[in-house]
Structure 1
Amino acid sequence: MTLTLLLMACLLTCAGQVAQKYAVESWRGPESGIAQKLRSPWLWLALLCLGLGLLVWLLVLQRLEVGIAYPMLSLNFVLITLVARYLFKETIDLRHWCGVGLVIAGVVLLGQHA
């Protein structure tokens, strides 16, 4: 159950960050006022996902020590890197991929402790 909650917190946070990216991308182009920006469905989706992610995260913190739980959020770096590469077509260099590999190794090591 705790692992499921942790993964949900990561996925909701990642989805919120992707929605943030889409929100700011939709603001490009002709000057738009604050009222138009506030009507962006991407902005509201981002707030919803990030808010739900926070609530799920609080449930995780009830079940795991913060020293174990917090580093597990590093999975967001992995997920966002994959999203950047495959959804936004961003170039990811070898050094970045090596960092992703180290993050995964760290999460695996910490996961064995939990």
Structure 2
Amino acid sequence: MSLLLLLAACLLTCLGQIAQKYAVESWRESDSSLTGKLRSPWLWLALFALGSGLLVWLLVLQRLEVGIAYPMLSLNFVLITLIARFVFREPIDSRHWIGVALVIGGVVLLGQQS
């Protein structure tokens, strides 16, 4: 159950980050006033996802040691990098991919402790 909650916190946080990206992209194309920005459904999705992710994260912290749980959120770097590359078509250099591989390796090592 703890790992499912951790995965949910990770996915909600990633969803929030993606929604933030879409929100700011939509602001470039439309009304840039504060009222116009507040009408963005992407902004509200981001706030909902990040808020929900925070609540799930609190449940995770009730069940896992922070020294184990927190590094697992590093998987967000991996997921966001993949989304940046394949959804937003952003260029990712080789150093970044090496960093992603190191993060995955670190998560695997830490996951073996629990």
Specify if TM > 0.5: yes
Shift of 1:29: 3.6
SS of match in other structure, 2:88: coil
- The aligned amino acid for 1:98 is I
1:78 matched residue in structure 2: 78
Where do 4+ consecutive residues of structure 1 move more than 4 Å? none
Distance across 1 between alignment mates of 2:37 and 2:102 = 38
Name which of structure 1's ranges 86-95 and 30-39 shifts more when overlaid on structure 2. Answer: 30-39
The letter for the 2-side match of 1:81 is T
Gaps of 5+ in 2: none
User: Distance between the aligned counterparts of 2:37 and 2:30, measured in 1?
Assistant: 12
Q: Deviations over 1:58-112 (max 9, x none)?
A: 0000011111111110000000000000000001111100000000000001111
Aligned to 1:41: 41
Q: State the match for 2:61 in structure 1.
A: 61
* d(CA) in 1 for partners of 2:107, 2:98: 14
The residue that corresponds to 2:7 in the other structure is 7
Give aligned-pair identity as a percent.
Answer: 77
CA–CA separation in structure 2 for the residues paired with 1:96 and 1:36: 35
Q: What TM-score do the two structures reach when normalised by structure 2?
A: 0.97
Q: Report the alpha carbon displacement of residue 30 of structure 1 after superposing the two structures with TM.
A: 5.2
Indicate the SS of the match to 1:27: helix
Q: TM-score, normalised by structure 1?
A: 0.97
Unmatched 5+ stretches in structure 1: none
